[in-house]
Structure 1
């Protein structure tokens, strides 16, 4: 799978000279990310595979800016934020609409990369 993704995604990004990639994943992880005995072990493996692929993208395209946009998908957490240049709370601004003017509504909230 990694070889297939490398050919399709990384090669495309290189050939197209893309400088910015937004990863937006709005799916529910499901239950049980507690370990191999967990009901969610396959989900945990999928997340680790995703993280390994992001690491590979960064090694091969060190100047590429990657945004982690996925509050609804529970990927706005430290292990994903460490791997990306910025993170945003895409749909999460809806709860804050009472606090901001109309021109601000719909804007993403950007968070600085963890550890910087």
Structure 2
């Protein structure tokens, strides 16, 4: 039984090799300069999350003070995210760039800030 299986496997491999079928290998694409810029820039951005303590309703005094989180001024909550995630707001156009803080736009590589927008170099 094992001999028949090995013989079948041998015939199959030699047939595929003779017909020019080769194994497929996947090559990961290298990230572009733009992708690297986005990852590095976003990793350095402030969270935009502020905290404050408020009095809540509780019988035990130590539980009355509660800390709540909210988006700091100049940030808005990303409603697509299940976790608390605040995005900075840029009032000027930030196309071809990333809004890194309120009204601060960092342009992608190959672009520069001119006239309130990111222009191609």
Indicate the TM-score class for this superposition, using the shorter chain for normalisation.
under 0.3
Q: TM-score, normalised by structure 1?
A: 0.24
Q: Which has the higher contact order (CA 8 A, sep 6+)?
A: 1
Q: TM-score, normalised by structure 2?
A: 0.23
Higher normalized strand content (fraction of residues): 2
Higher normalized helix content (fraction of residues): 1
